[in-house]
Structure formats: C-alpha cells, structure tokens
C-alpha cells in the first residue's frame, strides 16, 4: 500500500534521533532496489533530509548494516550521516538530502571520488 505519509511513529522517532522536528514528509522520487521506503523530510528549522525506512526483516538488517558503515566511514563521496534509529517498528537512516543544493544534477561533488576513497581504511567487520 502506498501512502503520502510514513507511519505516525516515524516523525516522532526522527525527531528523537536527530533533534529536529519534522513538519512534512514527501516520497522521494524513484530510487532504490528494495521495498524500503524513501522519504524527503522538511523540518521546522534547517535543511531537509532523506529518510530510508525499512519495511521488511531483510531491509531492517540492511538499514542496520548501512548505519554501521555510516557511523564509521566519512568522506566527500558520501552523503552526510545525520543519524538513525531502530527503536520504532522498523529501523531507519537519516541522511543529507542530495536532491537540493550544490549536489542536485551535478557530478562535480563526485569527480575524483575514487581518488579520495582509495586512502580510506575499511572499518572492522561487525563480526570480527
């Protein structure tokens, strides 16, 4: 079922996770290869953000794995990690909204990313 708003608990948990109160959600345009929900969130203050919300057990684990990486890897080749939460019905990530600002429609931010990525050390495994 497609809705125009995520489940009611999501706004409360996003506020708890990043300290900014959502005032509106809209579905992110096409993207992703899983049944996870993708939302663009407007806040009372500050720039909008992207929320990836798990909807199945598989996507829940993938969101947890993605959060684990975002907590450990930083670089100009990645969206800014704003936070995540798994205390509601499903876990979710909150990331920088790349649909607005200098990134929109531009590859300039990604040029040379492989060169900047090369010296980054991969994080230690969750299991080892």
Q: Are the CB atoms for 116 and 83 separated by under 8 Å?
A: no
What pLDDT digit, counting tens, does each position of 85-102 carry? 998 889 999 999 998 766
Burial of 51 (0-12, 13-18, 19+ CB in 10 A): buried
**Per-residue pLDDT tens digits for 38-53:** 999 999 988 999 999 9
pTM (predicted TM-score): 0.79
How high is the mean pLDDT of the chain?
84
Calculate what percentage of the chain has a pLDDT beyond 70: 74
CB atoms within 10 A of CB 41: 24
Using a 10 angstrom Cβ sphere, with 0-12 exposed, 13-18 middle and 19 or more buried, the burial of residue 91 is buried
- Least confident segment among 2-16, 94-108, 113-127: 113-127
- The structural domains of the chain, ordered by start, are 8-117 (3.30.200.20)
């Amino acid at each position: 079922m497609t809705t125009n708003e995520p489940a009611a608990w999501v706004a409360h948990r996003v506020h708890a996770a990043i300290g900014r109160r959502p005032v509106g959600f809209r579905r992110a345009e096409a993207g992703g290869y899983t049944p996870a929900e993708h939302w663009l969130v407007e806040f009372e203050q500050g720039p909008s953000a992207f929320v990836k919300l798990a909807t199945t057990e598989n996507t829940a684990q993938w969101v947890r794995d993605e959060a684990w990486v975002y907590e450990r890897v930083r670089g100009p080749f990645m969206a800014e990690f704003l936070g995540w939460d798994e205390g509601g019905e499903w876990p979710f990530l909150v990331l920088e909204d790349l649909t607005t600002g200098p990134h929109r429609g531009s590859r300039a931010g990604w040029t040379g990313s492989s060169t900047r990525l090369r010296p980054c050390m991969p994080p230690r495994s969750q299991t080892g």
